[in-house]
Amino acid sequence: MSESMRALDKGQLRGRHLLSLYDFTVDEIRYLLDQAHQLKAAVKNGIYTSELQGRSLGMIFENPSTRTRISFETGMTQLGGHALFLSGRDMQIGRGEPIKDTASVVTRYVDAVMIRTNSHEEVAEFASFANCPVINALTDAYHPCQALADLMTAEEVHGSLQGKKLAYVGDGNNVSHSLLAAGAKTGMDVSIAAPEGFEPEGFAIQQAKEAATTTGAKIHIGNDPVEAVTNADVVYTDVWASMGYESEQSERLQAFQPFQVNAGLMAEASTEAVFMHCLPAHREEEVSTAVIDGEQSVVYQQAENRLHVQKAVLASVIQ
């Protein structure tokens, strides 16, 4: 174990926000993944800890959720703590209370807050006034907890991530932004193919390329799905019209048709490649039923790992 890893055992992550993977160093992400693997193994053996006994997590949701709500709530329970579901529609912030006032008060009641909303700027503002750690559970810019689960799943399948290739095919959205960060932080090459005009945002590409100089990861953005998937170890996609883009559904369906992940595209990847999707999926749109329900798919393993990586985050940042 390196000196930096030993130092992390002494609580350097306590009180930290997780707004994107760029908030953590390479060693800190490695530490969280190691903790997640250990916590998963413990649960499989029927072992639960009580390290967060008496602690509370406030969960603010402005969008519907299945996996995020259940995994965070279950994770707090398994760690001995308690989670409170807080709908944005039921809070005063939904009636116009300033973010500063809500953040300053709510974070005096709980030991951490996770937020699932649209605006990344609002989550960053909330964190700036918070008295406890704030965890981004999805914004329009990043989905860091999902990316941690993706990394964990890739490690379970392929072992070391260094030099492995992840191909993302589809919309250059928050998931793709966080996959760029994940690869750049772990040395995993990331190749993204999106229709012209739907590529990842420039800031996300630039951040990834700068971070990749430390780990040696290769970052490639293009418009050819076959080029992206060739020899990939992981093939990943997401829905073509995420929440907030429903009005563009018909336009997107037409633009994204050549980007469906199907058996033909998977055949371009490594023979040991696996298929990932953050779910929910629209079968026969971004992915064929044969692929998502096929032997190469690890989407349910990937979804389960949301629980374990989030437990690692909670146990590490809550003081």
Residues annotated in a binding site for carbamoyl phosphate: 65-68, 92, 116, 143-146, 278-279, 306
Bridge partners, residue 274, by sequence:
234
User: What HEC string does the chain produce?
Assistant: CCHHHHHHCCCCCCCCCECCHHHCCHHHHHHHHHHHHHHHHHHHCCCCCCCCCCCEEEEEECCCCCHHHHHHHHHHHHCCCEEEEEEHHHCHHHHCCCHHHHHHHHHHHCCEEEEECCCHHHHHHHHHHCCCCEEEEECCCCCHHHHHHHHHHHHHHHCCCCCCEEEEECCCCHHHHHHHHHHHHHCCEEEEECCCCCCCCHHHHHHHHHHHHHHCCCEEEECCHHHHHCCCCEEEECCCCCCCCHHHHHHHHHHHHHHCECHHHHCCCCCCCEEEECCCCCECCCECHHHHCCCCECHHHHHHHHHHHHHHHHHHHCC
The residues near 295 (Cβ < 8 Å, ≥ 6 apart) are none
Annotation: binding site? 65-68, 92, 116, 143-146, 174, 238, 242-243, 278-279, 306
Please say whether the beta carbons of 178 and 143 come within 8 A. yes
Give the type of residue at 212. A
Between CA 249 and CA 246 the distance in angstroms is 5
The closest alpha carbon to 83, from 115, 106, 45, 110, belongs to 110
Residue 291 tokens read as 């692929």
Annotation: binding site for L-ornithine? 174, 238, 242-243
Which of the residues are catalytic?
A: 116, 143, 146, 238, 278, 306
